[in-house]
């Protein structure tokens, strides 16, 4: 075997989760080696839905311009019955996180953009044709043994050693199997035929879920003039039959005038899976993406769940590798991601059961119930605005409880008896959920998205006050070691005054849209501690700031060290902002 080749993080699998994780770690200045068994990226369409949370992560790694040409924003979904009547419309118009909530996308092209983005980082390399066949782990390192085929038909084994290994190699993940963790859930017996074609013969831009009891189907308009159909198969219809060109044309004859003239990309049979691993970490090995959870297709959350995993894990690995946090921080990856993954699986299964009804009586009852419910504006809005989608809320992890300042947990409700809490418009805690991303002004930026102005690491946001005036020096020193940016948010009318009054060590944001003022006005939490993944680690009254910070740092096993690559993981001028 070859001499060990050292890196910090070994990523097994160049799928979307692995590629995004490598981009984030590269951005944070970490050394990464991606090992992919295939000789190239998968080039056929798979996922078709990209949500606002994922686009925010794409924004974080600076790839919006590369990804956007392969997307269709505001991808509307209509659930229609057997007669073609719309049962419900899913058309969310919110841009809470800075982007449209739903996009259609061409996954191979977006994956290519993620892969191309890695060329920016000298510290990241991707090795195709490297199949990891075994892994060895010690107390201090993990070694992947990769088989590499030679040009003469022979093969050799190479060893790659890092501090951590993350398996992102899909639902059959050898990494997960080596870890011996459970993979609980179900694989419904229902099979589906998926058909992708070029030169979309219909041209309509959105999604139709056909809840037709005769044969449920899906019809999806995608970017680049690609059309996807999916048809539910009966038990007596074999895979060979379902992929026969003549049989496929017969399926399509009610959807397109001349099926035989279509430019087919692929015809393939697949089965939905709904599973979540019992743990996402064991020792120095972790799993992410499909290796950690398999999503039914109905909510389009498979690709997006992998993005959430990468976003959650990257900053934690960077913190541990830089010396800022202890190894225990990585345990919070499972704590924070498992519950939401299960929620998305359950919701996807439920929606699938609604669509897959083949009993005509039950289908008629479903359609009647939907017609009645659509008469109620609140119910109609619940579906149209996608309020049924469970947004991630972490109750255990890198958090501080807003009521007690307890470390590592956070109740979802504000229970304090203090008058500012009792009189607040909402008692729902913002801790453990993603912070919104409105547009803001600063001295050097006008009408820019929040994340682009505050940078990609920790941030302390304070409404109306100078953070340096409401936090003691001991807290400011700990924030400086963490690499956190101090930010004051004020109405745009006060920004010039605040910039002069607060000085160069605090970033002043002008809330010219009023959206941040509304957020703070509704909640009795004028001080917010934002994690690098844009989730709220703590939110409190200013006088609770020091205790809240201490609880957050304890939850992340903070060492007090500034980190060996602090300049790579904070905005270029963040050190001066903490002066």
Q: What is the C-alpha separation between 8 and 568, in angstroms, rounded?
A: 15
Residue 85 lies inside a defined structural domain of this protein: no
Closest CA to 149 of 135, 124, 128, 168: 128
CATH no. for residue 517? 3.40.30.10
Same domain, 400 and 477: yes
Q: What is the DSSP string of 504-527?
A: TTSEEEEESSSHHHHHHHHSS--E
Is residue 301 a contact partner of residue 349, using CB atoms and an 8 Å limit?
Answer: no
Write down which residue in 350, 383, 404 finishes a domain.
350
CA distance 335 to 552: 15
H helices within 266-358, ranges in order? 302-321, 331-355
Identify whether residues 254 and 120 lie together within a single domain. no
Domain of 197, CATH number, reads: 3.30.70.2450
- Collect all residues with Cβ–Cβ distance below 8 Å to 520 and sequence separation of at least 6: 463, 489, 526
Instruction: Please report the pLDDT score of residue 350 as a whole number.
Output: 66
The burial class, CB within 10 Å (0-12 / 13-18 / 19+), for 497 is: exposed
Between the alpha carbon of residue 120 and those of residues 28, 61, 113, 386, the distances in Å are: 12, 11, 12, 36
One domain, residues 512 and 453: yes
Q: Count Cα neighbours of 243 within 13 Å in the Cβ-side half-sphere.
A: 12
With respect to residue 362, please indicate whether it lies within any of the assigned structural domains.
Answer: no
Q: How far apart are CA 524 and CA 573, in angstroms?
A: 30
Which of 211, 246, 271 lies at the terminal end of a domain, its last residue?
271
Sheet holding 9-12, edge to edge: 124-128, 32-36, 9-12, 164-167, 285-287, 281-282
Q: Is 258 exposed, middle or buried (0-12, 13-18, 19+ CB in 10 A)?
A: exposed
Residues 256 and 287 in one domain: no
Q: Is residue 377 part of a domain?
A: no
Whole-number pLDDT of residue 390: 52
Residue 8: both structure tokens together: 């910090």
116 and 176, same domain (yes or no): yes
Beta strands in 376-531 (DSSP E): 396-400, 407-409, 439-440, 448-449, 459-463, 485-491, 507-511, 527-530
Range of the domain at 435: 396-577
Task: Indicate whether 364 belongs to any domain.
Answer: no
Q: Which two tokens stand for residue 562?
A: 């500034």
C-alpha distances (whole Å) from 544 to each of 24, 345, 494, 539 are: 32, 37, 25, 9
Give the length of the chain: 579
Cβ atoms of 52 and 93 within 8 Å: the answer is: no
The pLDDT, as a whole number, for residue 572 is 40
Q: Is 375 part of any domain?
A: no
Based on the domain organization, do 523 and 565 belong to the same domain? yes
CB-side neighbour CA atoms (13 Å) of 351: 28
Q: Are residues 417 and 460 in the same domain?
A: yes
Domain containing residue 304: CATH number: 3.50.50.60
User: Residue 434's closest CA among 389, 403, 477, 470?
Assistant: 389
Distance, CA of 6 to CA of 32 (rounded, Å): 9
Helix (H) or strand (E) holding 270: strand 263-271
Q: How far apart are CA 355 and CA 218, in angstroms?
A: 10
Rounded Cα–Cα distance for residues 179 and 281 (Å): 8
Q: Choose among 173, 466, 492: nearest CA to 306.
A: 173
- pTM, two decimals, is 0.90
**Number of Cβ within a 10 Å radius of residue 113:** 20
SS3 367: helix
On whether residue 389 sits in a domain, the answer given is no
Where does residue 205 rank: exposed (0-12), middle (13-18), buried (19+ CB within 10 A)? Answer: middle
Cα–Cα distance measured from residue 56 to residue 52, given in angstroms and rounded to the nearest whole number: 6
Whether residue 380 lies inside any domain: the answer is no
Please check whether residue 366 lies inside any domain of the structure.
no
Total count of domains within the chain = 3
Same domain, 289 and 432: no
Of 218, 243, 271, the position where a domain reaches its end is 271
| SS3 category, 525 | coil
Are 406 and 443 contained in the same domain?
Answer: yes
**Of the candidates 492, 484, 483, which has an alpha carbon nearest to the alpha carbon of residue 567?**
483
- 20 with 146, same domain: the answer is yes
Residues 170 and 198 grouped into a single domain: no
- What residue ranges in 138-204 does DSSP mark as E strands? 142-149, 155-162, 164-167, 183-186, 191-198
- 10 Å CB burial of residue 416 (0-12, 13-18, 19+) is middle
Tens-digit pLDDT string for the chain (579 aa):
444 568 999 999 999 999 999 999 999 999 999 999 999 999 877 888 999 999 999 999 999 999 999 999 999 888 888 778 888 887 878 899 999 998 999 999 999 999 999 999 999 999 999 999 999 999 999 999 999 988 877 889 999 999 999 999 998 999 999 999 988 876 666 788 999 999 999 988 888 888 888 888 999 999 999 999 999 898 899 999 999 999 999 999 999 999 999 999 999 998 777 788 999 999 999 999 999 998 766 555 778 999 999 999 999 999 999 999 999 999 999 999 988 787 777 666 666 566 666 667 665 565 555 554 454 454 444 344 444 455 678 999 999 999 999 999 999 999 988 999 888 989 999 999 999 999 999 999 999 999 999 999 999 999 999 999 999 999 999 999 999 999 999 999 999 999 999 989 999 999 999 999 999 999 999 999 999 999 999 999 999 999 999 999 999 999 998 876 443 433 343 333 333
Is residue 260 located within the same domain as residue 280? no
Q: Are 239 and 191 in contact (CB under 8 A)?
A: yes
Q: Quote the tokens at residue 330.
A: 């990585």
132 forms bridges with which residues in the sheet? Answer: 146
């Amino acid at each position: 075997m070859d001499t060990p080749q050292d890196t910090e993080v070994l990523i097994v699998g160049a799928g979307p989760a692995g590629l995004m994780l490598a981009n984030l770690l590269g951005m944070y200045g970490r050394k990464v080696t991606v090992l992919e068994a295939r000789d190239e990226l998968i080039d056929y369409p798979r996922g078709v839905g990209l949500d606002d949370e994922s686009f925010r992560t794409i924004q974080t790694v600076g790839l919006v311009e590369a990804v956007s040409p392969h997307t269709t924003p505001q991808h509307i979904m209509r659930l229609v019955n057997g007669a073609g009547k719309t049962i419900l419309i899913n058309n969310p118009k919110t841009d809470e996180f800075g982007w449209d909530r739903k996009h259609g996308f061409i996954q191979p092209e977006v994956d290519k953009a993620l892969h191309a983005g890695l060329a920016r980082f000298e510290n990241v390399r991707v090795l195709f044709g490297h199949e990891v066949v075994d892994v060895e782990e010690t107390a201090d390192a993990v070694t992947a043994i990769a088989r590499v085929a030679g040009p003469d038909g022979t093969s050799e084994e190479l060893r790659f050693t890092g501090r951590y290994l993350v398996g992102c190699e899909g639902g059959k993940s050898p990494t997960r199997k080596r870890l011996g963790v459970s993979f609980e859930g179900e694989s419904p017996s229902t099979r589906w035929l998926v058909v992708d074609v070029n030169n979309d013969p219909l041209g309509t831009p959105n999604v139709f879920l056909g809840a037709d009891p005769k044969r449920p189907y899906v019809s999806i308009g995608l970017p680049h003039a690609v059309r996807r159909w999916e048809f539910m198969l009966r038990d007596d219809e074999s895979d060979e039959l379902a992929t026969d060109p003549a049989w496929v044309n017969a399926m399509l004859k009610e959807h397109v005038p001349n099926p035989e003239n279509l430019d087919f990309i692929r015809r393939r049979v697949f089965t939905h899976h709904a599973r979540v691993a019992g743990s996402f970490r064991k020792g120095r090995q972790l799993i992410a993406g499909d290796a950690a959870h398999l999503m039914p297709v109905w909510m389009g959350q498979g690709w997006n769940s992998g993005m959430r995993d990468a976003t959650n894990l990257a900053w934690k690995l960077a913190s541990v590798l830089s010396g800022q946090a202890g190894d225990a921080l990585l345990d919070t990856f499972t704590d924070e991601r498992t519950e939401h993954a299960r929620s998305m699986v359950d919701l996807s299964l439920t929606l699938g059961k609604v669509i897959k009804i083949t009993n005509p009586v039950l289908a008629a009852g479903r359609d009647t119930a939907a017609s009645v419910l659509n008469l109620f504006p609140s119910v109609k809005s619940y579906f149209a605005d996608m309020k049924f989608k469970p947004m991630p809320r972490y109750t255990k992890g890198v958090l501080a409880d807003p009521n007690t300042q307890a470390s590592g947990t956070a109740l979802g409700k504000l229970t304090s008896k203090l008058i500012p809490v009792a009189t607040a418009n909402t008692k729902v805690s913002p801790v453990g959920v993603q912070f919104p991303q409105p547009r803001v002004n600063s001295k050097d930026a006008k009408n820019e998205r929040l994340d682009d102005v505050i940078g990609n690491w920790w941030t302390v946001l304070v409404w109306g006050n100078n953070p340096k005036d409401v936090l003691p020096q001991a807290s400011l020193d700990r924030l400086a070691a963490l690499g956190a940016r101090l930010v004051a948010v004020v109405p745009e009318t006060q920004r010039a005054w605040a910039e002069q009054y607060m000085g160069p060590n605090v970033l002043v944001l002008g809330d010219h849209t009023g959206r941040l003022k509304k957020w703070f006005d509704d909640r009795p939490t004028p001080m917010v501690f934002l994690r690098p993944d844009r989730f709220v680690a703590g939110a409190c009254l200013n006088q609770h700031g020091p205790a809240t910070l201490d609880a957050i740092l304890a939850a992340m096993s903070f060492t007090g060290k500034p980190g060996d690559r602090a300049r790579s993981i904070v905005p270029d001028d963040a050190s001066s902002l903490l002066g």
